[in-house]
Amino acid sequence: MSTKRSPTPILQWTVVAFGFLALALAFSARATLGLVMPIWSQELGWSRSFVSGSAATALLVMAAVAPLAGRLVDRNGVRTTLVLGLSLVGIGCLIVSMTSSAYMFLFAFSGLSALGFGIVATHVVSTAMARLFDRNRGLATGIATSGATGGQFLIVPLIATVLTVFSWRWSFLAIGAGCLALVPLLWRTLAATEKSREQAAPDQQASSLKSDLGAIARKPAFHALFWSFFLCGYTTAGVIETHFLPYASFCGFGPVPSAAAYGVLSAVNMFGMIGAGWLTDRMNRVVLLGAIYLLRGLTFLILMNVGASYEMLVAFAALFGTVDYATVPVTASLVASHIGLRVMGLAMGMISAGHSLGAALGAWSGGYIFDLTMRYDWVWMISTGLAVGAGLIVFLLRDRQAVRFQ
């Protein structure tokens, strides 16, 4: 019988750092799409419906890939998974930077990069954290996954500056080059995680994908977390990630001020995720997650009344940031305790697929509603109701903080 060695603290926090960086680059690439949407409409003649549809297509690809990415990190570890995902994101962004063809753009962004987005995802990173940490699991998950938004605090405004000084092509070129530059560094530095995984492998029971899927689907907690995360996707990655910057442009704000407001949202979001992770280790997680959704619903009321006030736009960004991706560490913790650590990657992948499906619906419907009404009011009103609905679904759960992880 093999002896399982625990990873060193240095290795654990190194994985946290690389998880943060990988998510920062991948999510910045997605945010750049919203930043250049108005420019593409003028320069290339692409409608907001088309660009929103491409974002929705990318989210559908992410939804299909998410369970497979979760299974990949369960079986092959975080190093192999993140390297594959970053390579796809980087190659896709480089192709986007060099094309004016709508079809090539769809292939590169909604195809190649979308595959990478589905792999370099919060559920992959949160699963890695759960497997590496026994103590401070929530905090580590919150810090690592905060790269999904906190890393954008510096990257997105920088991309906006590159866009203003040079062009949108240089923006995608910079993101693609950053992703590919991180690949060899990540591969070399995280080699020790493969040894830890190999030592742990004999202790894992072999099981088929079909049996694991069935076991997950039979748990009521899975359905509560799946549908709440579906609505979460609509109200975050769907309408905000895709339409916040175009909405700011619609209100009369330029690319740099709009990106600065988005940077505020991202910075506060980072601390919101870390704070939620810290609270996850210390309080009733059901109450915490439900409250986050309810508060998120209220923030959309502010967004509806921005008008020409930049102060109101920044106020929304700051308040929304506290409850944006703060759901991730809490949801991950509930998956680990209510569904099981052994299949956490797969379960989180399925739940994240629901998030991407909801986001795809939000991204597409936001563009469709705008083209239909030439306003965003209905987009924000619908988002308010869905966020409140997600909170009510969560309250159907019971916390099981004392239950040991499987």
List alpha helices for 98-190, DSSP H.
Answer: 102-107, 114-119, 122-132, 137-145, 152-165, 168-189
DSSP code for 304: T
Q: Which residue has the tokens 């280790």?
A: 281
Single out the residue of 242, 264, 246 nearest to residue 312, CA to CA: 264
Tell whether 19 is covered by a domain.
yes
Return the pLDDT at 287: 95
Segments in the chain below pLDDT 70: 1-7, 45, 48, 150-152, 192-206, 400-406
Looking at residue 324, its amino acid is D
How far apart CA 143 and CA 133 sit, in angstroms, is: 13
Return the pLDDT at 256: 80
Q: Which residue has the tokens 């619903």?
A: 297
Tell whether 201 is covered by a domain.
no
Single out the residue of 23, 19, 117, 112 nearest to residue 62, CA to CA: 117
Q: Which domain holds residue 301?
A: 9-195+208-394
Burial of 315 (0-12, 13-18, 19+ CB in 10 A): middle
Q: Write the DSSP assignment of 209-243 as a string of letters.
A: HHHHHHHHHT-HHHHHHHHHHHHHHIIIIIHHHHH
Tell whether 2 is covered by a domain.
no
Buried b (16+ CB within 10 A) or exposed e, 20-36: bbbbbbbbbbbbbbbbb
Return the pLDDT at 403: 40
Return the pLDDT at 400: 66
- Work out how many domains the chain is built from and give that number: 1
pTM listed for this prediction: 0.77
Return the pLDDT at 259: 79
Return the pLDDT at 6: 60
Tell whether 200 is covered by a domain.
no
Tell whether 402 is covered by a domain.
no
Return the pLDDT at 206: 59
What's the CATH code of the domain at 280? Answer: 1.20.1250.20
Tell whether 400 is covered by a domain.
no
How far apart CA 195 and CA 354 sit, in angstroms, is: 32
Tell whether 202 is covered by a domain.
no
pLDDT tens-digit map of 124-140: 888 888 877 777 778 88
How many beta carbons lie within 10 A of that of residue 248, not counting itself?
25
**Is 73 within 8 Å of 343 (Cβ atoms)?**
no
Return the pLDDT at 205: 52
**Is 160 within 8 Å of 261 (Cβ atoms)?**
no
Tell whether 401 is covered by a domain.
no
